[in-house]
Amino acid sequence: MLPHRVALLAPALRPALLAAHKALQPGAAHTALTSLEVLPLLHALRHADDATADALRKLEHVVDNQSTTDSGVFAIGAAVTRQIDELIVACNACQSLGISKEPLSRHLAEAARDVLVTYAHYLADLVFATADPAALIREGEAVHVEGTRFDINLACKTNLPDSLDTLAGWVPGRFSYDDARARRVLKVSENPLVYRPSVVALPPEPPQPEVKPMSFWSILGWAGLLSLIFGHDCGDCGDSGD
């Protein structure tokens, strides 16, 4: 099985995923703030993006710090949810400019949505991996390394512009929001503490008596989960999926 506190990431992060998912639904309300200028809103969006990435980096404590308590895991999850809520507020303000005919206003609105989609996809992948890692393997979303070790490599880069000049070159809609996957992950994670692992067929391997047997934790792999910790402009995170 996954270590208990790693498995707690699924329920701890589920509220953040749910908040992002709701904000991305068609017809979600956006406060009309068209009197604000593009540059201040861009700075606010970048600040929210940085703060969200910083909150997610604290997941490393769950992996590395064996003394992390159950309440500590949920405290980290609550902090991530708060930052996602603040990100949604910033995104809503930016998206309220989408009705403008000014190109920069439309670019900012599109960039804000892309940022929220990026985080929603990342949270969905992380919650799924910790709620049902056996399904992750069964569906081919984890790479078999050896024995019972499987690695996952999830990357998340928003790469928001930091000036109006770079905003003008923003390419919107890099990918569509995967609503169906998010709904499935939310369903799977409704009661993740009742963990019923499935039988996972592994390819045959020659005996390796010198290798110490690994726990089920190796299904994710230390390197795999550590690769989930990222910055908003991390150059070595791997492929962003776009």
- Residue 77 falls inside a structural domain: yes
pLDDT of residue 192: 55
How many domains does the structure of the chain reveal? Answer: 1
- Residue 201 falls inside a structural domain: no
- Cα separation, 141 vs 106, in Å, equals 35
pLDDT of residue 41: 93
pLDDT of residue 208: 40
Tell me the average confidence (pLDDT) per consecutive run of 10 residues in the chain, 242 residues long: 81 96 81 68 94 89 75 94 96 81 86 93 92 86 76 81 88 82 94 45 43 36 41 38 40
- Residue 24 falls inside a structural domain: yes
- Cα separation, 149 vs 146, in Å, equals 5
- Residue 140 falls inside a structural domain: yes
Retrieve residue 129's tokens. 């991996």
- Residue 234 falls inside a structural domain: no
Which of the 8 DSSP states describes residue 174?
S
Tell me if 27 sits within 8 A of 59, measured CB to CB: no
pLDDT of residue 195: 40
Neighbours of 203 (CB within 10 A): 6
- Residue 242 falls inside a structural domain: no
C-alpha to C-alpha distances, 185 to 61, 142, 155, 164, 191, nearest whole angstrom: 24, 16, 18, 36, 11
Closest CA relative to residue 128, chosen from 19, 18, 241, 10: 10
pLDDT of residue 61: 80
Retrieve residue 205's tokens. 């391997």
**Residue 18: domain span:** 4-191+206-226
- Cα separation, 196 vs 57, in Å, equals 28
Q: 172 φ, ψ to 5°?
A: -80, 165
- Residue 236 falls inside a structural domain: no
- Residue 237 falls inside a structural domain: no
pLDDT of residue 37: 83
